[in-house]
A and B are shown apart, each in its own frame.
Chain A
Amino acid sequence: GAVVSQHPSWVICKSGTSVKIECRSLDFQATTMFWYRQFPKQSLMLMATSNEGSKATYEQGVEKDKFLINHASLTLSTLTVTSAHPEDSSFYICSATAGADNSPLHFGNGTRLTVT
Chain B
Amino acid sequence: DAKTTQPNSMESNEEEPVHLPCNHSTISGTDYIHWYRQLPSQGPEYVIHGLTSNVNNRMASLAIAEDRKSSTLILHRATLRDAAVYYCILTGGNQFYFGTGTSLTVIP
Residues on A close to B: CB < 8 A?
A: 4, 6, 32, 34, 36, 43-46, 49, 91, 93-95, 97, 99, 101-102, 104-110, 112
Contact = CB atoms under 8 A, between A and B. Distances in A.
Nearest to B36: A105
Given A43-B87, A102-B51, A108 B46 contact: no
Contacts of A107: 36, 43-46
Contacts of A97: 94, 96
Dominant SS among interface residues on chain A: strand
Contacts of B97: 46
Q: 10 closest pairs, A vs B, by CB?
A: A107-B43, A104-B46, A44-B98, A110-B43, A109-B43, A93-B43, A43-B98, A107-B44, A43-B100, A108-B43
Interface residues of B, number: 27
B45 A46 contact: no
Contacts of B68: none
A34 B46 CA distance: 15
Nearest to A46: B97
B51 A105 contact: no
Contacts of B49: 102, 104
A109 to B, nearest CB: 5
Given A101-B92, A110-B42, 9 more contacts: A36-B98, A43-B87, A43-B101, A97-B94, A99-B94, A101-B91, A102-B32, A104-B46, A107-B46
